[in-house]
Amino acid sequence: MIAVIMLLLLAAASSAQDWIRTGTGLGVERVRLAASDFKPSTPDANNVNLLKTFNDTLWNDLDNAGIFDLVSKSFYPLQVPGQPSEVNFSAWNSPPPNTSMLAFGNLGAAAGKVTVQGWLYDVKNEKSPQVLGKQYTDNATTDAVRVIAHRFADEIIFRLGGGVPGIAESKIYFVSERTGHKEIWMMDYDGANQQQITHLGSISLSPRISPDGSRLAFSSIDKGGWEIMMYSFDLNRMVSFPRFGGMNLSPSWSPEGKIAFSSSRNSYPNIFVVDASGGNLKRLTTGQGPDVSPTWNRKTGSQIAFVSGRTGLPQIYTMEADGTNLQRVTDQGYAVSPNWSPNGQFLTFSWERKYGPGEPGSNDLYLMDIASKQWVQLTHDAGRNDFPCWSPDGRHIVFQSHRSGSDQIWTMLADGTNVKQLTFKGGNTQPNWSWK
Amino acid sequence: MAAIVNFDIYSEHSQLRRPLAWSLGLHLTFATFVVLYAVFIPGFGRNSWGTGGTGDAMGATLVSAVPLPANPTETTNVLATESKGLAKSEPTVQEKEPEAIPIPDKNTKTKLKPAPIKSATQRKPQPEPSESNQIPYGEGGPVSGPYTMTAGGAKGGFGFTGSGGDFGSQFGWYVQAVQRKVTENWLKYEVDPRIAEAKRVYVTFDIARDGHPSNVEIEQSSGVPSLDQSAVRALRRIDTFGPLPPDYSGSKVSVEFWFDYKR
């Protein structure tokens, strides 16, 4: 009796599923994607502007994603589709475009509102081509259209990128001195919409956004010295945070919302941890240090990497979140600004591998696999590069570079390619990418 | 004087005879003992080095990794060599050593050697050395992206033999995303470096509606434990493949994934 039931269960289980059989060595290539310009769907004079913003933003987002091989628009057929019925499969899935995916759609403004319809088609699969079909409605402004383009791009990246959410709506926080004081600023991930957050009129450094994006911790100098400050995006103002005395620098959020920072309240700069409210202060490192720039393992929250000068020149160390199992990961030179990747696998940091007089070292960004301690150099022959920070999807790194002659914020793919400058005005430093 | 010396030597001689006899006798006895011991005492002749003895059974547990200390020297970047790129190393140019010029000596007459006859046939045609597939250190292709860090080897056509439903033909893009993601998360350096080539490992797992992989199992081992481990770990490293296509009606998809390892 039991055997019969088991057999029935097994039969039910096996019939309810599909099998995929695949493997490695089948050519891991980027998805070949074509993104045709969206077409106007209403006779509105506003459409031209909105369409230009939309098409440019969508193209940039897909191009920046790092997982697509975007087919140049010059290869596209003359007749681009605006509706699913207008898709001519053979014109897209064979050379010259020879694309496997096609993003297309239409945009129409009417009476102050804009409606966008977007599709993603697998044009090599004529039987069931649709991967995605979306419709968005918002006010007919360029800002709203930009957001719609970001959302649609993120949907495409999410589907084709193996379930990793896109970063088109993420933000970057940074320090800018364009007002004459070093204040905290924020911008979209592509450098658009730059706006000032703090107006303290002193020096504010190392902004770090909380995992939920509601609070921003940074260090700032005032009458009492360097202290950790907190800005709330819910209240849009500074909120109080305890003062610890001594010099308090470089806060860092754990995924659970704890804050690690460097404090010299016990005479030497050591790493401390507090709750998000500022309570429950705990010291993690001892000795003369100086220990600064802690960063949490963003996946597990159980490890902290930091910079210590205990053996002379600053080096990167890792330890468990309770201060045990201290390990040095860099073996020479001058290594600072560690940042842990979202998947917990890699550390990126700024390293001058040969440091000292007569050593023509340059300050470059490196990436290290924590488990194997293997590293790879990301920037080459391009001025001083510092303060790398991972994007939430783990595919990009934002950093500060002096390659253009002044300190500016740049991004690149995490393999060092596709380098792009985001800021141009004044001096901009210490970028920090939001968690989502 | 000479007589005294002679006497001395003579007397020394007579004194040594007894101890010498003793010494010889004892040495012989000892040698005999050693021979007899070797012949008669059991266990002496058996070569038991390195065997575990006849005691209890020993259990050995396979560990996935040995926690090695940090490399004290500059780490060579193995990433640069994991992928064999298209670049071919230049053949080394054999440079001729300059002929030694004899320092002229005024006493010796220099003999004029007859100039060697140069002929076109002197050089024998060498067979073209066969092209090696090997790429020397640091001369491979571009470094593979760090978030892939794997560099899949050969490229081939994409195909999968589906059985059961038509998931593969309907949602090819999802299958490709799965394939890409697993390959990206497969860290080849976890495999024992002594292994140059191994049989295919087949791993099966399920993808739930939300894209989460589960029931990771080795269907067919490669026979190399570290390779099997690395394949399972690749899947353990993945949180999600992204939700299954909304048009798909099933609750989960089963995947059979193979890993081809070649150093």
Q: pLDDT per residue over B67-105, tens digit each? A: 666 655 555 555 555 555 566 667 777 777 777 877 766
By C-alpha distance, which of B176, B179, B51 is closest to A124? B176
Confidence of residue B164 (pLDDT cuts 50, 70, 90): very low
Which site among B79, B147, B201, B205 would you substitute to test the A interface, given the most A Cβ atoms closer than 10 Å to its Cβ? B147
A27 — contact with chain B (CB < 8 Å)? yes
Tokens of A140: 């007919």
- The DSSP code sequence of chain B is -HHHHHHHHHHHHHHHHHHHHHHHHHHHHHHHHHHHHHHHSTTSSS--TT---SSS----PPPS---PPPPSSPPP-THHHHS--S--PPPPP-PPPPPPPPPP-SSSPPPPPPPPPP-TTSSPPPPPPPPP----TT-SSSPPPTTT---------------SS-HHHH-HHHHHHHHHHHHHH--GGGS-TT--B-PPEEEEEEEETTS-EEEEEEEE--S-HHHHHHHHHHHHT---S-PPPTT--SSEEEEEEEE--B-
Report percent pLDDT > 70 for chain A: 93
Contact A313, A338 (CB under 8 A): no
Rounded to an integer, the average pLDDT of B3-27 is 71
By C-alpha distance, which of A311, A394, A406, A402 is closest to A365? A402
pTM, two decimals, is 0.71
Q: Which residues of A touch B189 (CB under 8 A)?
A: 372, 374
Confidence of residue B117 (pLDDT cuts 50, 70, 90): low
Q: Which residues of A touch B255 (CB under 8 A)?
A: 19-22
Domain map of chain B by residue range?
A: 167-259
B95 — contact with chain A (CB < 8 Å)? no
A164 — contact with chain B (CB < 8 Å)? yes
Contact A341, A394 (CB under 8 A): yes
In chain B, residues 72-91 whose CB comes closer than 8 Å to chain A:
72-75, 77-80
A26 — contact with chain B (CB < 8 Å)? yes
- Domain boundaries A31-160, corresponding CATH code: 3.40.50.10070
Distance from C-alpha of A23 to C-alpha of B205, rounded to nearest angstrom: 12
Domain map of chain A by residue range?
A: 31-160, 171-433
ipTM: 0.77
Tell me, what's the pLDDT at B251?
85
Q: What is the mean pLDDT of chain B?
A: 70
A20 — contact with chain B (CB < 8 Å)? yes
A69 — contact with chain B (CB < 8 Å)? no
Sign of CA dihedral B29, B34, B35, B40: positive
- The DSSP code sequence of A302-355 is -EEEEEE-TTSS-EEEEEETTS-S-EE---SSEEEEEEE-TTSSEEEEEEESS-
Q: Domain A171-433 falls in which CATH fold?
A: Neuraminidase (2.120.10)
**Per-residue pLDDT tens over the stretch A242-263:** 999 899 999 999 999 999 999 9
Q: Domain B167-259 falls in which CATH fold?
A: 3.30.1150
**Per-residue pLDDT tens over the stretch A144-185:** 999 999 999 999 999 888 888 889 999 999 999 999 999 999
Out of B173, B243, B254, closest to residue A17 by CB: B254
A167 — contact with chain B (CB < 8 Å)? no
| Those residues with Cβ within 8 angstroms of residue B237's Cβ, 6 or more apart along the chain or in another chain | A343, A345, B185
Q: Do A27 and B155 touch (CB under 8 A)?
A: yes
Contact A350, A364 (CB under 8 A): yes
**Per-residue pLDDT tens over the stretch A35-79:** 999 999 888 888 888 999 999 999 999 998 888 889 999 999 888
HSE-up (13 A, CA, CB side) for residue B144:
24
Contact A203, A184 (CB under 8 A): no
A/B interface, count of CB pairs below 8 Å: 187
A101-110 and A31-35 strand pairing: parallel
